[in-house]
Structure 1
Amino acid sequence: MKAVLLGATGMVGQGVLRECLRDERVTEVLVIGRTALGVEHPKLREILAPDLAKLVTRTDIVKELSGYDACFFCLGVSSAGMTEEAYHRVTYDLTLTVARALCTHNSNLTFVYVSGQGTDSTAQGRTMWARVKGKTENHLLALPMTTYLFRPGYIQPRHGITSRTPLYRALYAVTAPLYPLIRRLVPNQVTTTEHLGRAMIAAAITGAPQPYQGPHGINDLANSAR
């Protein structure tokens, strides 16, 4: 399987990249991002696109987008302090721009999108981020490709992976020793970066029971891929 990965510098994306590079079924990973990863691997290729919103206007990038089986879209931002217009531009506009470009050049594409628990599928609710995420999910499902919408709950970083947000890094450092207990108490509400990566690969290769996958479904997919 050949996969495109966006958001590889973020916590979730780091986990997905790690699992892709470790999995023999993944033969190539194309990372598209604004900055270089600083990682070298025989399976890894990078395309630097400082302005991802202009992805489809750059002929040097578009011609490189064919021949892929899956896209793992891990790019996202917190809505804290953002206007709805700005959040919509990053969450909806950018995601759909990338998805449309990829499905145009790959007829059998599987697109795995990292959404969030609490996303409003009606896209009509009062919570801004949930409404925009819901609209994004709905329009991804309408594209001519196989789409899986991952809605993870609490995500524990593993294998040295860290968040780029200082507050989150501090939170994860505190909760890491407690994670085994948290997992026993609320197993259907938590997952890890490792499980997310494995589950995305499993969904792309063998499929998943339904488009929407919460923590329980993500963990089941990850375990089935072992």
Structure 2
Amino acid sequence: MKIIITGATGMIGEGILLASLAHPNITEVLMVNRRASPLKHPKLSELIIKDFTDLAAYSTQLTGYDGCFYCAGISSFGMNEQKYNFITFYTTIMFAKELAHFNSDMVFFYLSGVYADSSENGKIMWARIKGKTENALKELHFKATYSFRPGFIIPLKAQKNVRLIYKGLNLIYPFVFPNKTLTYDEIGTALMRTLTLGYNKNILEIEDLKLIARQSKRYK
């Protein structure tokens, strides 16, 4: 399978990228980045796109893929709603719309967040906008779309883009909240199985990702 990944220079995107490169069913990975990444791998190639809302010039490079893991994004901390909406909702939807035009048989995965607000009416700004993005993606013409809400993830040793706070939390959180903690092996396994076989829900919560990962190992 051939996949596209965005946000590979961020912590979660980098972890999913490394898990994808290690997966035997993934033959090619295309990183779509705004800035170059130093990572090299035989399966890996890179495409630099400064403006994710305009992919017209890159149709050839973005055609012929089975899946996309959209992990690009930004923290809402210190941001006003208008700017956060542009980056989180508008940019994501514009990117996805054009990608669906190039790859109608693609499965699209969106990195959302725990407590994203599917009603779009809650008081928390980032949760409303994440929920609005999830809802809009379901209307696009992909083979399937999934929004995954992973919560706390144990960083891989090979990761470079890990915030200091996560290194500290990694010593505590997995032991105090094991049911709310995922490994990149679990996420990678769950996403690859969903990419291949599908799932009966569009929103993948922590418990769904854990369940799918267990099912995948059970049937190996």
Taking structure 2 as the reference length, the TM-score comes to 0.91
1:110 maps to 107
Corresponding residue for residue 186 of structure 2:
195
Aligned residues: 216
Relative to structure 2, which stretch is displaced further, 169-178 or 13-22?
A: 169-178
Instruction: Name the Cα RMSD after superposition.
Output: 1.6
Offset at residue 162 of structure 1 (A): 4.6
Q: Name the amino acid aligned to 1:201.
A: M
Check if 1:148 corresponds to 2:146: yes
Unpaired runs of 5+ in structure 2? none
Q: Relative to structure 1, is the Cα distance of residues 162 and 40 closer, same or farther in structure 2, using a 3 angstrom cutoff?
A: closer
In the alignment, which residue of structure 2 is the partner of 1:181?
A: 175
Q: How does 1:42-53 map onto structure 2 within 5 Å? A: 42-53=42-53
Q: Does 1 or 2 have the higher relative contact order (CA < 8 Å, sep 6+)?
A: 1
Q: Secondary structure at the match of 2:172?
A: helix
Of 203-212 and 127-136, more deviation after overlay is shown by 203-212
Q: Is the 8 A contact 2:2 2:65 kept in 1?
A: yes
Which runs of at least 4 in structure 1 moved beyond 3 Å after TM superposition? Answer: 223-226
Structure 1: runs of 5 or more not aligned:
none
Tell me how far apart the structure 2 counterparts of residues 53 and 119 of structure 1 sit (CA, whole Å): 23
Q: Percent identity?
A: 38
* Distance in 1 (alpha carbons) for counterparts of 2:87 and 2:197: 30
CA distance in 2, matches of 1:180, 1:100: 37
CA distance in 2, matches of 1:70, 1:137: 17
Counterpart amino acid of residue 174 in structure 1: G
Amino acid at match of 1:216: E
Residues 4 and 29 of structure 1 are in contact (CA less than 8 Å); yes or no, is this contact kept in structure 2?
A: yes
CA displacement at 1:49 relative to structure 2: 1.1
Deviation at 1:30, TM superposition (A): 0.9
AA at the equivalent of 1:106? N
Task: Give the structure 2 partner of residue 11 of structure 1.
Answer: 11
**Would the aligned equivalents of 1:187 and 1:216 in 2 still touch at CA under 8 Å?**
no
1:62 to 59, 64, 67: 59
- Structure 1 residues 162, 38: closer, same or farther in 2, change over 3 A? closer
Partner of 1:172: 166
The amino acid across from 1:49 in the alignment is I
Q: Does 1:210 align with 2:201?
A: yes
